[in-house]
Structure 1
Amino acid sequence: MSAVTNPATVGECLRVGAGFSQRDRNWIAEQFGPLDARLASFHADATELEISVKDREARGQKVTLECWIGGRDKIVTTSSEEDLHAAIMDVRDDLRRRLNDAKTKQEPRHNRHLRDVVQPEPEAAPETD
Structure 2
Amino acid sequence: MSAVTNPATVAECLRVGAGFSQGDRNWIAEQFATLDARLAGFHADATELEVSVKDREARGQKVTLECWVAGRQKIVTTSTEEDLHAALNDVRDDLRRKLNDAKTRQEPRSNKHLREVTQPEIAPVADDDADLHRADAETA
TM-score with structure 1 setting the length: 0.87
- Summarize the Cα distance change of 1:29–1:117 in structure 2 as closer, same or farther, 3 Å threshold: farther
- Summarize the Cα distance change of 1:54–1:5 in structure 2 as closer, same or farther, 3 Å threshold: same
Q: Tell me the distance in 2 between the aligned counterparts of 1:96 and 1:24.
A: 21
Counterpart AA for 1:56: R
1:21 maps to which residue?
21
Residues 40-51 of structure 1 aligned to structure 2 (within 5 Å): 40-51=40-51
Q: Tell me the distance in 1 between the aligned counterparts of 2:6 and 2:119.
A: 32
Residues 1-129 of structure 1 aligned to structure 2 (within 5 Å): 1-108=1-108, 109-112=110-113, 113-114=115-116, 116=118
RMSD, aligned CA: 1.4
Counterpart AA for 1:36: D
Q: Tell me the distance in 2 between the aligned counterparts of 1:86 and 1:49.
A: 18
Q: Kindly, what percent of the aligned residue pairs are identical?
A: 80
For residue 110 of structure 1, report the CA deviation from its aligned partner.
Answer: 1.2
Counterpart AA for 1:87: A
Which consecutive residues of structure 2, in runs of 5 or more, have no partner in the other structure? 121-140
- Summarize the Cα distance change of 1:115–1:22 in structure 2 as closer, same or farther, 3 Å threshold: same
Give the number of the structure whose residues are more often helix, by fraction.
Answer: 2
Runs of 4+ in 1 over 2 A off after TM superposition: 111-118
Counterpart AA for 1:110: N
1:126 maps to which residue?
none
For residue 56 of structure 1, report the CA deviation from its aligned partner.
Answer: 0.1
Give aligned pairs, total.
118
Q: Tell me the distance in 1 between the aligned counterparts of 2:2 and 2:22.
A: 35
Name the larger-Rg structure. Answer: 2
Counterpart AA for 2:112: N
